[in-house]
Chains A and B, each alone.
Chain A
Amino acid sequence: MSGTLTIDGKTIPFAAGQSVIEAARCAGIYIPHLCHKPGYAPHGSCKLCTVFVNGRKTSACTYPAAADQNVVSDTPELQQDRLRLTQMLFVEGNHFCPSCEKSGNCQLQGVAYHLRMLDNHYPHFYPQRQVDASHPDILLDHNRCIFCNLCVRASRDHDGKNVFAIAGRGINKRLIVNSASGQLKDSDISIDDQATQVCPTGAILVKRTGYQVPIGERWYDRQPISELALGKEDSHER
């Protein structure tokens, strides 16, 4: 099934099997998101892509596109909620952009720029989280994890390994590693895995690559995420 739907008053085509967010992306319309990535099974957890479809609120990344849908995305109210959700992600963990080597390439930061986030708004939780530096090539900094599940999906669906999972519930959620010690060095992750490349923040980093491109010349330093995410998102990592 294919046809057309409207987003913010603009008529766009969609192809069979596309979600609302994918139809929008192909038509050059950016809907903010963090847990979504083209080519990955939809998750629908970050809720940044929340839109109205025929008057009902839903996640654009999980909702199937259908003929004659009326999608509303770019309104001051929805953008304000997206800003608040992004701020929630910042206060939940420990995000210290100036010292993070992902700065400029970080989607969380890129979305925050896009939403004109000027402060964190909410009181910080300051959780105690670990850094797993055990692996020779890959660093896992739990402080920056936003539970988008992309590494879980990458490892399970693309690498065929199940290296990662998310455990716990509520605010005590945590990313866990599939090894007896719980450490990355004892897992079967490899530097070539998609799971090492897919993290939208600096939670999973490849070691010794941090400053090859200077801060100020990185993706979202040069181009807003709203432009970079369109079409190129599936290839813009690395």
Chain B
Amino acid sequence: MKTFVDKVLAQAEFQPARLLEVLRAVQAEFRHIPEPAIELIAVGLQIPRTQIIAVAEFYSFLHLAPQGRYELYIADSITDRMLGNQQVLEALAARLQVAVGGVRGDGLVSLNRTACTGMCDQGPAGLVNGYPLPRLTPAKIDALAALIEKQVPLNAWPTEMFRVEEPICRPDLLLNQAFVNGAAIQASFARGLAETLAELDASHLRGRGGAGFKTALKWRSCAQQAATPRYVICNADEGEPGTFKDRMLLDLYPDQVFEGMTVCAAIIGSNHGLIYLRAEYLFLRDKLLAVLQARREQGLLGQAILGRDGFDFDIEIRMGAGAYICGEASAQIESLEGKPGIPRTKPPNSVVCGYQRKPTVVDNVETFFAATHIAIQGGQWFAAVGTPQSTGTKLLSISGDCQRPGIYEYPFGTPVRTILQECGAEDVMGVQVGGPSGTFISNRELDRVVAFEDLSTAGSFMVFNRSRNLFAIAQNFTDFFAHESCGFCTPCRVGTSLLKNQLAKIADGLGAAEDLTELSALCEVVKNNSHCGLGESAANPILTTLLSYPELYLQQLQYQEFAPAFDLDATLAAARRLAQREDPAAHLNQVEN
């Protein structure tokens, strides 16, 4: 073990910031983080062992207890559920003789649920040892089980098993744009960096990660900081269930994303770029490394880019390890520094005090992609499309009840109704725009538009038809937040779990009028007091479904007055058994008459 850990530590150049990389390698080798490895890493990186345990317990794909040599995860997002993930879990559990959430006795295989694998358009999906298993059909499950039983190494599995499709159903302004490597960097140099920033300003581009902060303003503030070095971070931790457009961009348009980062680096004066790639996109890593290498060979990365003395910039890929919160910029920076992904306190924000406490721009994959084309075409070209508050186009990842799930590029301001028609959605009950943290809209609101002024979204667009159960949707999302809360602050740590339990009480048919009042009040406490966006949005699934379909919530209530959350008589069963009594007096009524 020491030899292996030493090798991994050397590869990470003994940098504590690269702890996640070290732990991922150890996990891949030993299927968990063994106790002796903790000691070796603590000594090697000169960090307290508690930091290693804290990190290992924070990220979903790191474990302190051994997992199977074939580590299976099945996606549990609502769209995967709609596509039959439960049957997949049952079939796998039966075929492989392993409990869901367990490890088989011989250690060959473990089976777990995971929040979302970024393949909501091709579910039910899963992961095996970090690699994607889209569209799990019964035939595929049989093949998969056989390969595992025969202990065939992953690299000898049929590639078809892992093939992720990138269905671009509706390209528009950006996806249709021709591109030659280096064009955006050349255009920026030719025009001048200050002028390029002015074009970005004129484009009114706003961050595509969801918050919608003006990109030019962020870059300018970072450029104006006195401190150096400065960093460019590409946020590729696309964790919002129902989003997969960054996967597509990194898969099909990586050069255009890297080029946006390079233009940003030139403008803010950065030498070092990082891509924080979500763990579920491990399958893209080798491909992206090859693209980066090709760009170095083309003089688009490295020393004196395109012959310009003094412009040195390179990009490093860092993998996440399964934590939705790491999509939040400051949590991502913490994660990049080798710590649990807990959002930082602001002020100061990342532009002033980011990675390694230095000025840092963190932008979404799609933002850099758009910036590349703005650098080439100019700000007006972009600003001419969309709405005044939301210029340009938006990539939507469409999944759920529609004939053509996939990637759609729409000018901002497009009504939901148009989108539903084009993706082939019928008999719609509602749409979840922006993922669990976004907004649920009912079929009475389909004229609302996708734009920062109305329905802002990082790109998740989930369609539900009228056969779907509203509570199943709200519960899936609420449970998701309870699972993904980092637990830093009281309202989110405790509140998301209380929300989960309170909603379950109503959904299980044990709700009274009082419970609905309490649910709404709890939503407000969590929303109004949480430390970061996760807590602020954790109540959105309940609040927005309550707003869209209050009648369904009211119908679900059993009682006008108080109703207990548990079955009193059933909880006394053990006492009756011990007392060997079954007479009427040994039973209690649930509610006193």
Contacts and interface: CB of A to CB of B under 8 A. Distances in A.
Contacts of B498: 88, 91, 122-123
B486 interface: yes
Contacts of B484: 169-170
A67 interface: no
A154 B35 CA distance: 27
Given A123-B501, A173-B487, A92 B57 contact: no
Interface string B392-436: 000000000000000000000000000000000000000000000
B48 A89 contact: no
A47 interface: yes
Among B58, B485, B488: residue with most chain A CB under 10 A = B488
Interface in B38-89: 39, 48-51, 53-54, 56-58
B525 A85 contact: yes
A166 B486 CA distance: 11
B542 to A, nearest CB: 16
Given A47-B489, A47-B531, A59-B345, A171 B39 contact: no
Contact of B488 (A45, A84, A123, A171): A45
B54 A47 contact: no
B490 A88 contact: yes
Interface in A60-88: 62-64, 81, 84-85, 88
Contact of A165 (B48, B493, B528): B48
Nearest to A123: B565
A42 B39 CA distance: 30
A170 B485 contact: yes
A194 interface: no
Interface string B487-524: 11111011111100100000000000000000000100
Nearest to B505: A123
A125 B497 contact: yes
A44 B490 CA distance: 10
Given A178-B48, A178-B50, A171 B485 contact: yes
Contacts of B345: 42-44, 59, 62
A46 B347 CA distance: 18
A106 interface: no
A214 B484 CA distance: 44
A45 B50 CA distance: 20
Contacts of A166: 54
B53 A176 contact: yes
A139 to B, nearest CB: 19
B482 interface: yes
Contacts of B531: 44-45, 47, 59
B490 A171 contact: no
Given A47-B529, A88-B494, A88-B495, A170 B487 contact: yes
A81 B530 CA distance: 11
B566 to A, nearest CB: 9
Contacts of B501: 123
**How would you classify the secondary structure of chain B's contact residues: helix, strand, loop or mixed?**
helix
Interface residues of A, number: 40
A89 to B, nearest CB: 6
Interface string A39-57: 0001111111010000001
B483 interface: yes
Given A81-B525, A171-B497, A173-B493, A165 B486 contact: no
Contacts of B5: none
A166 B525 CA distance: 24
Contacts of A171: 482, 485, 487, 493-494, 496-497
A41 to B, nearest CB: 10
A19 to B, nearest CB: 10
B340 interface: yes
Interface in A132-157: 146-147
Contacts of A59: 345, 531
Contacts of A85: 490-491, 525, 529
Given A169-B323, A171-B485, A57 B491 contact: no
Contacts of B493: 92, 147, 170-171, 173
Given A122-B498, A171-B494, A46 B54 contact: no
Contact of B57 (A64, A84, A168): A168
A47 B525 CA distance: 11
A114 to B, nearest CB: 16
Contacts of A57: 528-529
Interface string B470-492: 00000000000011111111110
Contacts of B50: 162, 164-165, 167, 176-178
Contact of B490 (A89, A125, A180): A89
A33 to B, nearest CB: 12
A169 B489 contact: no
Interface string B329-361: 000000000001000010100000000000000
A128 interface: no
Contacts of A178: 48-50
Contacts of B56: 167
B54 A81 contact: no
A172 interface: yes
Given A47-B491, A88-B490, A89-B494, A170 B347 contact: no
Interface in A211-232: none
B486 A169 contact: yes
B494 A91 contact: yes
Contact of B340 (A91, A169, A177): A169
Contacts of A43: 345
B337 to A, nearest CB: 15
Nearest to B38: A180
B497 A170 contact: yes
Interface string A157-196: 0000010111111111100111010000000000000000
Contacts of B525: 81, 84-85
Contacts of A45: 488-490, 531
Nearest to A90: B494
Which 5 interchain pairs have the tightest Cβ spacing? A165-B50, A88-B494, A167-B54, A173-B487, A170-B485
Interface of B: 35, 39, 48-51, 53-54, 56-58, 323, 340, 345, 347, 482-491, 493-498, 501, 522, 525, 528-531, 565
25 contacts: A45-B488, A45-B489, A45-B490, A47-B489, A47-B490, A47-B491, A47-B531, A85-B490, A85-B525, A88-B498, A89-B490, A89-B494, A91-B494, A123-B501, A147-B487, A147-B493, A162-B48, A165-B50, A167-B58, A169-B340, A169-B486, A171-B496, A172-B487, A178-B49, A178-B50
